[in-house]
Structure 1
Amino acid sequence: MPAPLDIDQLQTFIAIVDSGSFTRAAEKVFKTQSAVSMQMRRLEERIGKPLFIKDGRTNRLTDEGERLLGYARRMIRLNNETMAAFDDQKLEGMIRIGTPDDYADRYMPGIIARFAKTHPGVELYIECEPSSELSARLQRGELDVALVTHDPLERSSEVVRTEPLYWVTSMNHTVHEDPVVPLAVGRTSCRWRHLACAALDASGREYQILFTSWSATVVTSAVLSGLAVSLLPECAVRPGMRILSQLDGFPALAPAQIGLMRRPGAPKALVDALCGHIAASLDNITPVTEEDETAKGNSRRDRGIRADAPTLAAW
């Protein structure tokens, strides 16, 4: 029977991948850089395959390293769930979380499933409302945690995900070519609504707001029906949508950001545990440059949107 893999080595391996370097991983796992390097040599010996390849001054994963990463994450997650199941000090109680409806649809199923396995004694009470309403309810003490659209001018939140924000229209209609662009946007408190209007005003493009709703489903339907143009983050782009660029007469947009808010005075252990699960699930990505966004947008526009593109929007 093969000897089992070392959990500590797998944790270090994941830390290297997530942090991007052996040096930062060493700080994260509280080891020296030489100890981290030794762990990876032993892990490569155990696997019998090289996991990293030198690429200039950096190390990148080999194909075998990419394969191991998925298994490693599952093993660490299962290990943590197992330890939590036998923890006499396990968390108990109720925590109230607020999220826009589309965040709930896209992200909450996975978060809830993992959190429930790790903390079976905790009850999650979930409310779905726009970000501005969630912020107000948090301040009134009606929620403990809120997943919101980050807006530093309106509220303070911890950014846990950043991604490109796109103009979108229907692949089968030409409403974006209308002299006066019809828009489908969130309510007046929506940050992306303000961004859309400000960007079009600055570019001199005429527009008219035809559809207003805090529901992402309503806005998405207006776009797919060919009735309006809207703004969506990259992972919210749906099959049947076309990404518009400056070549189509639509100005570049700043990236979209998702933030976490915590209620002062909320049960710290419960809040820390839930926010940790959320942050890990959203797996924050590095913002791309305007040139990268334009190239990616043109590529996706030319070939259409993949059929498995997830849905996400925040109003």
Structure 2
Amino acid sequence: METSYLDTFVLVVESGSMSEAARRLELTPAAVAHQLKLLEQELGTRLLVRAGRTVVPTEAGHRLVDKATTILLDLRNIKAAINDEAATGELKLGAINTALHSLMPEVLAGFVKVYPEARVDIRSALSVDLYDAVSRGELDAAICLHPPFALPKTMCWEQLCEEPLVVMAPAKWGQRDAHALLRDEPFIRFNRHLGGGKQADAYLRKAGITPHERFELSSLPAIAMLVDRGLGVSLAPDASVPWWRGLRVARLIVADQTYRRRFGIIWPRASVRTRLISALVAQARRAVSKAS
């Protein structure tokens, strides 16, 4: 049996869509459908059925999901156990852009003190892509936002902090009303495809505010620097991190505190690199505690 087909099947079930699974795997939908057809032929049973615009597992498909998850995890651990990289202490780590510019340097500084010979490969991506990479065994852990769905029992999550939305404005406007700033001044939007950007967009719509957009970008440090230059205001997660220092930026807490970004670390429950992952998690806790 081609184990990559099991990976494809599990991803289709998790996403509920062949096209979405194809996007994440960087395949065509036809290639995904072909893999699933071959898997069904080999097992001699139907695994998926259509339910409106989504696909759902059959009774046999549900049974396969549980078995396949265990099989794939065991296989990844076997590969890692016989690979020299596992013995030399290599860790494959993912992080969202905000973490790279804030938490990551402190985490890595502490980690290399514990494992000075370890080699860490770091990949930057969106939270949803990092979650997929961890679940497929491509990454050992990721510092990201909590996915907008319940995590399977095979995954561990530790929340490091919650970040409320703040209005970022030039320091000279620090005493003005937050909503008035969002209505009246040029707006620098945090990319609405990102978790924090989606929350900011939802907040603006709920508050009935249509800002005068000037820029849209995905880097919080860059947004803070633009605000410092007096080029506008922004609504973004309150990332209390080193790159704020020296910037003349006021951070005004918004009234509605229900919009919070859950920031943490995710990793597989079973891994041959558990000792390295545990050390990384401990350093992440320490870095957050030090920053607060």
TM-score by length of 1: 0.51
**8 Å Cα contact 1:219/1:230 also seen in 2:** no
Partners in 2 of 1:149 and 1:133 — Cα distance? 11
My pick for the range that moved more, 143-152 or 208-217, is: 208-217
Partners in 2 of 1:108 and 1:255 — Cα distance? 21
* Alignment partner, residue 97 of structure 1: 93
Partners in 1 of 2:106 and 2:282 — Cα distance? 13
CA deviation map 1:215-261 (0-9, x unaligned): 22332233223323221315145531122355xxx654534331111
**8 Å Cα contact 1:200/1:251 also seen in 2:** no
- The answer to whether the aligner puts 1:244 opposite 2:248 as a matched pair is no
Partners in 1 of 2:194 and 2:257 — Cα distance? 19
SS in 1 for 2:259: coil
* Alignment partner, residue 274 of structure 1: 280
Q: Map of 1:212-251 to 2, 5 A cutoff?
A: 212-226=216-230, 227-233=232-238, 235-236=240-241, 239-245=247-253, 251=256
Partners in 2 of 1:232 and 1:160 — Cα distance? 14
SS in 2 for 1:244: strand
* Alignment partner, residue 199 of structure 2: 195
SS in 2 for 1:199: helix
* Alignment partner, residue 121 of structure 1: 117
Partners in 1 of 2:128 and 2:93 — Cα distance? 14
Q: Map of 1:110-149 to 2, 5 A cutoff?
A: 110-149=106-145
Partners in 2 of 1:261 and 1:245 — Cα distance? 28
Identify unmatched segments of 5+ residues in structure 2: 1-86
Partners in 2 of 1:103 and 1:192 — Cα distance? 13
Q: Map of 1:24-103 to 2, 5 A cutoff?
A: 92-103=88-99
Write out the 4+ residue segments of structure 1 that deviate beyond 6 Å after TM superposition: none
CA deviation map 1:149-185 (0-9, x unaligned): 2344486842122344322111246895364564333
Alpha carbons of 1:279 and 1:188: their partners in 2 closer, same or farther (altered >3 Å)? same
**8 Å Cα contact 1:167/1:245 also seen in 2:** yes
* Alignment partner, residue 64 of structure 2: none
Alpha carbons of 1:214 and 1:127: their partners in 2 closer, same or farther (altered >3 Å)? same
TM-score by length of 2: 0.55
**8 Å Cα contact 1:100/1:129 also seen in 2:** yes
Partners in 2 of 1:166 and 1:151 — Cα distance? 22
**8 Å Cα contact 1:137/1:143 also seen in 2:** yes
Partners in 1 of 2:137 and 2:186 — Cα distance? 39
Partners in 1 of 2:233 and 2:162 — Cα distance? 25
**8 Å Cα contact 2:164/2:253 also seen in 1:** no
Partners in 2 of 1:178 and 1:214 — Cα distance? 19
Letter in 2 for 1:183: F
SS in 2 for 1:196: helix
Alpha carbons of 1:164 and 1:208: their partners in 2 closer, same or farther (altered >3 Å)? same
* Alignment partner, residue 258 of structure 1: 263
Q: Map of 1:146-157 to 2, 5 A cutoff?
A: 146-153=142-149, 157=157
**8 Å Cα contact 1:111/1:281 also seen in 2:** yes
Letter in 1 for 2:250: R
CA deviation map 1:69-128 (0-9, x unaligned): xxxxxxxxxxxxxxxxxxxxxx74200111123322322223222221211232111223
Partners in 1 of 2:204 and 2:162 — Cα distance? 23
SS in 1 for 2:218: coil
Partners in 2 of 1:178 and 1:127 — Cα distance? 34
* Alignment partner, residue 82 of structure 2: none
Identify unmatched segments of 5+ residues in structure 1: 1-90, 285-309, 311-315
